[in-house]
Amino acid sequence: MTSHIFDRPPPGVRADWTIDQNWEKFSDEEHGVWDILFARQVAMLPGRASERFLRGVDVLKLEQGGIPDFRTLNERLMAATGWQVVAVPGLVPDDVFFDHLANRRFVSGNFIRRADQLDYLQEPDVFHDVFGHVPMLADPVFADYMQAYGAGGLRSLGFGALHKLARLYWYTVEFGLIRENGALRIYGAGIVSSYGESVFALNDPSPNRIGFDLMRVMRTQYRIDDFQQNYFVIDSFEQLLSDTRDADFAPVYRDLERLDDIAIADILAGDDVITHGSQAYALSRA
């Protein structure tokens, strides 16, 4: 697989790292991979995914088949929340990523995994980025959270605290759970775009499921190469937005400097523990 990780804009890429999607150049095989991934996720997500995620899939009409054409997708997304999706060649630098978010633009990789990579791809492709992330951007509250996160990310660069703020993104935008109608539901893009983790995150006895706390999350380490050992659970998207938008992060970063990181899978005395996991899955993979 061609790497889509760059340290400078490749030839033909604009200064803000965006490119034309050139939707017409996607092959029938690539559209077919999207359709396979989409069909199996939408079949199993009802009753698992947040109602707001499922509503976003409907609002954006992602069921129409094939990799979405961003021109059409953006008409619907702009009407819903004023966001748009922009194509990029792969992972972009942090300052570029934050600037796009702060201006209500979500960057999406302009490639899709091969048919033999359906279950795992380390680099985010168009299925992860569009199916996983964009339905939540059709929700006004979550859309505001993402913009606030982008603005906060730009500020974090001046504090040398990017790695701390990255944990907030990881444990919410990518791998977040929510209490909804008396049950746990998934909304993080890394879960809803993964068949295996959509089951694991809610049903497996192995991981910890812990009530969301901003400082706790920003101190907690994570891994990128397997299912999570911790999931953090919010009570509402309004809570997530207010905790992020209304927080003065300058003292938060100062406090984080004097506090130790929390190792993956550790449980603290003050945690709101919803599920104290067995960690059996992680131990079996060690």
What does DSSP say about strands 230-234 and 273-275: parallel, antiparallel, or unpaired? unpaired
Contacting residues for 86 by C-beta, under 8 A, at least 6 apart: 18, 70, 100, 105, 106, 107, 108
What does DSSP say about strands 177-180 and 230-234: parallel, antiparallel, or unpaired? parallel
Q: Using alpha carbons, list the distances in angstroms from residue 182 to 44, 47, 56, 206, 211.
A: 19, 12, 21, 21, 14
Q: Quick one: pLDDT at residue 6?
A: 65
Tens digit of each residue's pLDDT (9 = 90 or more) over 35-63: 999 999 999 999 999 999 999 999 999 99
Top-level CATH class of 23-285? mainly alpha
Q: Where are the domains of the chain?
A: 23-285
Range of weakest confidence among 44-53, 213-222, 245-254: 245-254
Tens digit of each residue's pLDDT (9 = 90 or more) over 75-123: 999 999 999 999 999 899 999 999 999 999 999 999 999 888 887 777 8
Q: Among candidates 175, 278, 282, which has minimal Cα distance to 226?
A: 282
SS3 188: coil
- For residues 129 and 71, the answer to whether their CB atoms sit within 8 Å is no
Tens digit of each residue's pLDDT (9 = 90 or more) over 94-105: 999 999 999 999
